[in-house]
Amino acid sequence: MQDSTGSRLSRSDQFALELASQPDAARRVRVALEERFASRFPADFIEDLGAVLTELVNNSVLHGPGTPIRVRLAVQPDGVVRGEVEDDGNGRVAIREIAEEFGEGGFGLRLVDALVDRWGVYEASTHVWFEFSG
């Protein structure tokens, strides 16, 4: 991964995980996040970032096609974490479900929206990106 200036990030600044689309996927990503970054960031930072990843991974498990879920994080030089969660799902379904989630129903994406600085979905995909500074 590269930072926002196009420079390559060191391995210590990156995190990648592929998860089976199963009910324990969110727990597994939180455990891996804590193991990888607990010594680098304060506990509340890890907790909030874990909440974001939990919601996005759970959405992939619940609404995705059942294919592996890919999670990538990169710590930018300014400390901002750029993250991505991707499940190879149908983008049209994802956009409809995002609209429904913000309309009536669940609060998961509202939580994501409240915790991150910016987020979005790559066009015609279920590939979600976010930027998180705690």
Per-domain residue ranges of the chain: 13-132
Q: Which one of 3.40.50.10310, 3.30.450.20, 3.30.565.10, 3.40.50.170 gives the CATH number of domain 13-132?
A: 3.30.565.10
pLDDT in tens, 50-107: 999 999 999 899 888 899 999 999 999 999 999 999 998 876 655 555 556 555 555 7
Which residue is associated with the tokens 């998961």? 108
Give the pLDDT confidence score for residue 110 in this predicted structure. 83
Give the pLDDT confidence score for residue 1 in this predicted structure. 47
Tell me the whole-structure pTM to 2 decimals: 0.83
Give the span between the Cα atoms of 88 and 125, in whole angstroms: 7
CA-CA distances (angstroms) from residue 70 to 29, 105, 107?
A: 10, 26, 23
Structure tokens at 74: 């990169």
Give the pLDDT confidence score for residue 95 in this predicted structure. 55
SS3 105: coil
